[in-house]
């Protein structure tokens, strides 16, 4: 009974889990969207015989697209999560699931506590908040990990986009009125797995240490890259997008740090990542 079932195995986090588990010689089954489509929650089948846990890295993560496709996002981010919870409950194994800082409204000015009321301001956050709710009521033994501003040296993320822009453009403008905690997938995967393996259950926040705005993050990327491109701050209002985003979404990570020790600082992880891009 030692195999892990990893859903969303081709995404940023799923890829990191596969690398981590392979490196540790752990047995796992990787499932991508073709193997298991979460938009069809009524047809979900998982190979749970001999499994010790399910790790759900799959999600509808396109924040702007979710505004127009909320029904589809709800199926994947909410209904399917409730169904996964039910399957894990029946199998008697835990479900490790991931959620987002976007379940909060962004009006706070100190880090969001785990039990702060959820009040999403956009469709993506609404669907993820519903997923949390359905997981909590599924009867499953669950580990729910909220995180923020996730990036890797692969996949679609702000860091890779900014590296490309800084190399190609002479000037860029970046929003300076949204503040959060950038999180490398290695921090997220390693610390979530450590919590799972220690038998921790319930809700946790896991991010890298430190906080910044997207503008501040861009300056740090520029420095690590040694780029000459000019980076200018701008407001969210100057850079309209389909989805509203929380102005402040720093998560309080003290609970996970009290168990696992301090998280790495985001600047350390960022320099390592930019170094290989
Ligand atoms: N990215 C962030 O900044 C961020 C911030 C906070 C929380 N999170 C949460 O962290 C978790 C991991 O995110 P990530 O950054 O790794 O996301 P990601 O790179 O966008 O990966 C999401 C994965 O979900 C898969 N997927 C999409 N629709 C699916 C469906 N209908 N059925 C099955 N799989 C489907 C995707 O498959 P395809 O590759 O085939 O599309 C992809 O492999 C998610 O729960 C996300 O909500 C992410």
Residue 18's pLDDT band (cuts 50, 70, 90): very high
Residues with a known catalytic role: 124
Predicted model pTM: 0.98
Which residues 6+ apart lie within 8 Å of 150 measured at CB?
12, 13, 157, 183, 184, 185, 188
CA of 59 to the centre of ligand 1 (A): 4
Q: What are 77-134's pLDDT values in tens digits?
A: 999 999 999 999 999 999 999 999 999 999 999 999 999 999 999 999 999 999 999 9
Ligand 1 pocket, 248 CB below 6 A?
no
Mean per-residue pLDDT for 266-272?
A: 97
| Helices within the chain (DSSP H only) | 12-23, 65-68, 70-74, 80-91, 123-136, 158-168, 185-197, 214-225, 254-260, 266-275
Q: 123-136 vs 80-91: helix axis angle to the nearest 10?
A: 20
Ligand 1 pocket, 37 CB below 6 A?
yes
Ligand 1 pocket, 273 CB below 6 A?
no
Radius of gyration from C-alpha coordinates of the chain: 18
CA of 60 to the centre of ligand 1 (A): 6
Q: What are 154-212's pLDDT values in tens digits?
A: 999 999 999 999 999 999 999 999 999 999 999 999 999 999 999 999 999 999 999 99
Q: What are 110-126's pLDDT values in tens digits?
A: 999 999 999 999 999 99
Residue position matching structure tokens 């209002």: 237
CA of 157 to the centre of ligand 1 (A): 11
Query: Does residue 1 carry a pLDDT above 60?
Result: no
- Contact between 128 and 102 under an 8 Å Cβ cutoff? The reply is yes
Ligand 1 pocket, 15 CB below 6 A?
no
CA of 260 to the centre of ligand 1 (A): 25
Q: What are 171-181's pLDDT values in tens digits?
A: 999 999 999 99
Q: How far apart, in whole angstroms, are the C-alpha atoms of residue 71 and residue 221?
A: 36
Residue 2's pLDDT band (cuts 50, 70, 90): confident
Using CA positions, which residue lies closest to atom 40 of ligand 1? Answer: 33
Mean per-residue pLDDT for 255-267?
A: 98
Q: What are 207-238's pLDDT values in tens digits?
A: 999 999 999 999 999 999 999 999 999 999 99
Look at residue 23 in the predicted model and tell me its pLDDT.
96
Q: How far apart, in whole angstroms, are the C-alpha atoms of residue 107 and residue 244?
A: 13
Ligand 1 pocket, 59 CB below 6 A?
yes
Look at residue 42 in the predicted model and tell me its pLDDT.
83
- Contact between 133 and 272 under an 8 Å Cβ cutoff? The reply is no
Using CA positions, which residue lies closest to atom 2 of ligand 1? Answer: 150
Q: Which of 66-70, 259-263, 272-276 has the lowest mean pLDDT?
A: 272-276
Look at residue 248 in the predicted model and tell me its pLDDT.
98
Q: How many residues does the chain have?
A: 277
């Amino acid at each position: 009974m030692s195999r892990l079932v990893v859903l969303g195995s081709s995404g940023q986090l799923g890829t990191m889990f596969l690398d981590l588990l392979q490196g540790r010689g752990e047995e796992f089954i990787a499932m991508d969207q073709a193997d298991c489509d979460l938009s069809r929650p009524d047809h979900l089948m998982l190979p749970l015989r001999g499994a010790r846990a399910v790790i759900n890295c799959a999600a509808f993560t396109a924040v702007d697209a979710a505004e127009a496709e909320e029904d589809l996002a709800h199926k994947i981010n909410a209904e399917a999560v409730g169904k996964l919870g039910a399957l894990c409950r029946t199998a008697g194994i835990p479900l490790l699931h991931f959620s987002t800082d976007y379940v909060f409204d962004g009006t706070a000015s100190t880090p969001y506590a785990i039990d702060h009321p959820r009040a999403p301001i956009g469709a993506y956050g609404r669907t993820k908040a519903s997923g949390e709710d359905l997981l909590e009521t599924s009867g499953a033994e669950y580990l729910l990990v909220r995180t923020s501003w996730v990036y890797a040296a692969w996949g679609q993320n702000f860091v890779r986009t900014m590296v490309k822009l800084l190399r190609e453009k002479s000037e860029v403008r970046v929003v300076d009125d949204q503040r959060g905690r950038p999180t490398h997938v290695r921090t997220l995967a390693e610390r979530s797995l450590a919590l799972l393996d220690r038998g921790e259950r319930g809700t946790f926040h896991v991010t890298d240490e430190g906080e910044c705005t997207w503008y501040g993050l861009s300056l740090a990327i520029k420095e690590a890259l040694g780029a000459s491109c000019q980076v200018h701050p701008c407001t969210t209002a100057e850079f309209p997008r389909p989805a509203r985003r929380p102005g402040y979404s720093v998560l309080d990570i003290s609970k996970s740090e009290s168990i696992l020790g301090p998280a790495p600082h985001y600047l350390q992880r960022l320099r390592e990542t930019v170094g290989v891009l």
